[in-house]
């Protein structure tokens, strides 16, 4: 789960977490390396079969239950927008669980959160149709980073920074992104 990986990266030397957003409350907790040219847009999604859900604004969404991966930037963003845990916000262990809680017959949540590309991967792993989810509202866009806990030596961080720079320059990073994200079919809009 993200919360466990986050804690491990923050507290354990020589441990890195990726991909992660560099938020103001996290800035002093890690040593950061940006992944140049890679940003993620986060959205609210609803199951396509839920034709009863009609919302125009984030305030409208507060009448429903939103599933969110625990301790992620999206979790903290929604809390800052007035969502309340276990009232209209349900923190979950993973994006996969976030999707599964919206299934017919389960319906513990009305919305899932995430970026379309990674949600498409989780839908595939769960054996669900790529168009199961429908984008409803844009939440935010953030650059992607690698992060090391403060106990990690600067030497290791610099080695990784240099290696990332080299594989970015030769096109390897872009190929990885395309292979793992953009070639997956994104949930329909």
What's the average model confidence in pLDDT over 4-23?
Answer: 91
Report pLDDT for 187. 55
Cβ pair 88, 64 in contact under 8 A: yes
pLDDT reading at 3 higher than 80: yes
pLDDT reading at 184 higher than 70: no
Cα-based torsion angle of the residue sequence 162, 165, 167, 173 in order, rounded to the nearest 10 degrees? 130
What's the average model confidence in pLDDT over 115-128?
Answer: 86
Of residues 37 and 22, the one with the higher pLDDT is: 22
Task: Read off the pLDDT band of 164 (50, 70, 90).
Answer: very high
pLDDT reading at 118 higher than 50: yes
């Amino acid at each position: 789960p993200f919360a466990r990986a986050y804690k491990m990266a923050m507290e354990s030397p020589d441990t890195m977490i990726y991909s992660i957003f560099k938020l103001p409350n996290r800035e002093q907790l890690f040593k950061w390396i940006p992944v140049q040219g890679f940003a993620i847009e986060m959205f609210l999604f609803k199951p396509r079969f839920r034709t009863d859900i009609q919302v125009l604004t984030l305030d409208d969404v507060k009448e429903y239950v939103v599933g969110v991966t625990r301790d992620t930037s999206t979790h903290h963003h929604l809390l800052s927008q007035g969502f309340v845990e276990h009232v209209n916000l349900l923190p979950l262990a993973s994006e996969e669980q976030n999707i599964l809680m919206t299934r017919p017959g389960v319906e513990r949540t009305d919305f899932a959160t995430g970026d379309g590309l990674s949600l498409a991967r989780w839908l595939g792993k769960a054996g669900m149709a790529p168009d199961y989810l429908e984008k409803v509202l844009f939440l935010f866009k953030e650059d992607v980073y690698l992060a090391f806990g403060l106990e990690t030596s600067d030497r290791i961080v610099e080695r990784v920074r240099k290696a990332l720079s080299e594989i970015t320059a030769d096109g390897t990073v872009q190929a990885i992104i395309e292979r793992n994200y953009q070639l997956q079919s994104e949930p329909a809009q």
